[in-house]
Amino acid sequence: MPSTSLRDIDLNLLVILEVLLGERSVTRAAQRLHLTPSAVSHALKRLRELFDDELLVRDGRRMSPTVRAQEIAETLPTALRHVAHVLTAPEPFDPVMSTRVFRLAAPDFVAPLILQEVSRAAPHVRVEWVSSSSITLRELSLGRCDALIAPSVVKHEGLRAHSLGEWPWKVYGRAGHPAFKRWSMQAWSNYSHLQIWGTRTTQGQGPIDRRLAQLGVERHIGAVVPYFSMAAAVVANSDLLLTVPCMTMAATQERFDLEEHELPFELPRMSLSLFRSATGGDEPGVRWFLERIQAACSRL
């Protein structure tokens, strides 16, 4: 059989062929397909040209399949089912009944908001939280994680991004901290600082330290903690100052009675985006999960 491109094939012919091979009769095939016998005969003629084979030959009142037709009959039904599956719209996602597991890579300060949003709408769904640093962009693009929340500067050709917003950097300290009595750049730099491990690069510097290097100012890091959720308690019980984007303290500032002050030097706002796989983000369940994340983060 000569090589044939799928572009040159009318898939309706394969549907007719499947029925013809089952009925082995043009008349009965026409009845099942709700076509005229002449239309089925014309289709059979085109199929013979396509496969360069007689396919069905007259044998008395019946038609017998050729060897080639018998081979086709073994694989054609499965192939057509696969095509039908591809063309069928995916099942809608039912959050009330679903027991699905979603994986999210994100900083810990958004955890309470997102878990509350998801559990309220989908009581049986499970969210597996993984560290942003433990998931590679390639793994996310391949669908091994459903979503990633990270600074908007993240780039990868296999990802799609949705902006979650921009937030200014603020300085936090315990209530009555002496630095806030005469707030200035000097007051800010005179006290030791708490740093969150996730705000540092592999070289140990983040946007604050890069900006300080430009200004010729130094600061002392008195302590480093791995999670944003630990920071408020440490700051509330020490003289350490904390400089972070304001949304990271939204859930803990009031509870720990922390004072908030403007940063005494200019620093670009922190921009966060929600990233998902370019190929898997339109699946109904993932789309629902992404919408819940966006709704939760809108309250930051």
Q: pLDDT tens across 281-297, in order?
A: 678 899 999 999 999 98
Higher per-residue confidence, 283 vs 273: 273
Mean pLDDT computed over 40-44: 93
DSSP of 169-193, one letter per residue?
Answer: EEEEEETT-GGGTT-SHHHHHHS-E
Mean pLDDT computed over 207-215: 92
Do 165 and 293 touch, CB atoms closer than 8 A?
no
Nearest to 150 by CA among 274, 15, 262: 274
The DSSP code for 57 is E
Antiparallel, parallel or unpaired: β 147-151 and 270-277: antiparallel
Q: Which two tokens stand for residue 97?
A: 């009944």
pLDDT at 58: 87
Sign of torsion over alpha carbons 207, 212, 214, 218: negative
> What's the pLDDT tens digit per position in 238-261?
999 999 999 999 889 999 999 999
Phi and psi at residue 275, in whole multiples of 5°? -105, 145
Structural domains of the chain, ranges and CATH numbers in brackets: 6-87 (1.10.10.10), 101-166+271-297 (3.40.190.10), 169-268 (3.40.190.10)
DSSP of 201-239, one letter per residue?
Answer: -TTS--HHHHHHHHHT----EEEEES-HHHHHHHHHTSS
Q: Which residue has the tokens 């922190």?
A: 270
Do 225 and 152 touch, CB atoms closer than 8 A?
no
pTM, rounded to two decimals: 0.66
> What's the pLDDT tens digit per position in 125-153?
999 988 777 777 888 888 788 999 988 88
Q: Which residues pair with 62 in a beta bridge?
A: 59
> What's the pLDDT tens digit per position in 185-200?
999 999 999 999 866 5
Window from 47-51, 139-143, 229-233, 244-248 with minimum mean pLDDT: 139-143
